[in-house]
Amino acid sequence: MGSHRRLAPTSGFNRGAGAALCVLSAAASALGALPAAAAPHDNTKAEVDRLYTEAEKATEAYNKAGENAGTLRRQVSDAQDRIARQQERINTMRESLGSLAGAQYRSGGIDPALALLFSDDPADYLDKAAALDRIGAHQADRLRDLQSAMRELSQERAEAIRKLADLDRSRKAVAAHKKTVEKKLAKARTLLNSLSYAARAAYDRASRDARGVIPDFGSALPASPRAAAAIAAARSVLGMPYIWGASGPSGFDCSGLMQWSYAQAGVHLPRTSQEQRYAGRRIPLSEARPGDLIVYRSDASHVAMYMGNGEVIHAPHPGAAVRYDPVNMLPVSSVTRV
């Protein structure tokens, strides 16, 4: 596939640059310093990494929008149930009021002066009138209850309409973020496919496992039994693929791995890395212990789990498996002890 032509210093990316230079470009950390001639490949790798970073940010936005949509769906469903129950209550109240009105009519609910005038037994009339007064007072209370129930129903319906509008916006946000992720990943794949076979293989090897060995985690103990259980869960899926929007068990994105791991310890974490940074007590990096969450970048768009001795486990990016990496692989934003 490749030729042996040399690249001019100012040339762009060229598929025929040579397998050796591609390997050096894609796996610099493993193979040592790069010669100047490998710069075009370096630029391609940097662009792929940038696209993966942007895709990861869009993935966390997708996760958040999806979480919002799920919450709103439940709220809309609950509101619909409340509306149905309230409507049933109102129907029952209306039937009761109708029965009272019928009873009043049958009991002679006419003008009191005329009723007294035509009554054969004034004493009997006065007894009936007293009963009708009680029915009227009871009916007035029922009417007030009905009016109150109808106001509540109207408010419930208005709230349900607002929730449905919010749900529609969340669904559109999910679709928009999904489109952004897929666009970034498609562009990254196109760039990777433009590399030579050797360069692409080297990049894939670097993505699967940057070092290929299990690091030394030192002797630090987990911060709690639940942290120990979460660590064990995360280690059990080492090597599982990064799948954007996934939270296990057959694939994970970064926050999905944290949520799933702590779920195995009986702890519910929020879905996104931005929310996970507030899921416990914030501590300095110098005090990090195994099981703590390490949140990266100023926008908190990536998260990993501290394992000890300067190492983390995380789901890095598309094309990469769950793996160990140095804690300083990216700028650390915060550390959270769950």
Q: Catalytic pick from 22, 41, 177, 314?
A: 314
DSSP 106-156: HTT-S-HHHHHHH-S-HHHHHHHHHHHHHHHHHHHHHHHHHHHHHHHHHHH
Question: Per DSSP, what are the bridge partners of residue 247?
Answer: 252
Residue 314 is a catalytic residue: yes
What is d(CA 122, CA 205) in angstroms, rounded to the nearest whole number?
105
Closest C-alpha to 217, from 94, 132, 312, 283: 312
The sheet that has 281-283: what strands, in order across it? Answer: 281-283, 332-337, 293-296, 302-308, 311-314, 323-326
What is d(CA 330, CA 316) in angstroms, rounded to the nearest whole number?
11
What dihedral angle (degrees, nearest 10) is formed by the CA atoms of 275, 280, 285, 288?
-130
Q: Catalytic pick from 41, 177, 254, 317?
A: 254
Q: Distance of alpha carbon 33 from its chain centroid, rounded?
A: 41
Q: Catalytic pick from 22, 41, 177, 302?
A: 302
Report DSSP state, residue 242: B
Question: Cα–Cα distances in Å, from 136 out to 103, 131, 144, 147, 230?
Answer: 11, 9, 12, 16, 67
Burial 159-186 (b: 16+ CB within 10 A, else e): ebeebbebbeebbebbeebbebbeebbe
Residue 302 is a catalytic residue: yes
Phi first, then psi: what are they for 313, rounded to 5°? -120, 140
Is 69 within 8 Å of 45 (Cβ atoms)?
no
In sequence order, which residues have a C-beta less than 8 Å from that of residue 260 and are 6 or more positions away? 233, 237, 247, 248, 249, 252
Please list the helix, strand and coil fractions of the chain in percent, rounded to the nearest 5, in that order. 60, 10, 30
What is the set of active-site residues?
A: 254, 302, 314
